[in-house]
Amino acid sequence: MKILLVDDEKELVSTLAERLSLRDIEADWVTSGEEAIQNTESKTYDIAVLDVKMPKIGGIELKKKLEEKNPGLKYIFITGHGSEDDFKAASNEKGAEYYLVKPVNIDDLVIKMKEICLKKEQV
CATH number at residue 32: 3.40.50.2300
Rounded mean pLDDT of the chain? Answer: 87
Query: Letter for the amino acid at 120?
Result: K
Lowest mean pLDDT among 27-36, 90-99, 110-119: 90-99
Residue 71 has a pLDDT of: 87
- Residue pLDDT, tens place only, 26-84: 999 999 999 999 999 999 999 999 998 899 999 989 999 999 889 889 999 998 865 56
Contact 13, 2 (CB under 8 A): no
What is the domain count for the chain? 1
CA pair distance 67, 81, nearest whole angstrom? 24
- 80: domain range? 2-122
* CB half-sphere exposure, 33, CA atoms < 13 A: 16
Global confidence as pTM? 0.89
| DSSP helix/strand/coil, 9 | coil
Query: In the sheet where 2-6 sits, what is the strand order?
Result: 26-30, 2-6, 47-51, 74-79, 99-101
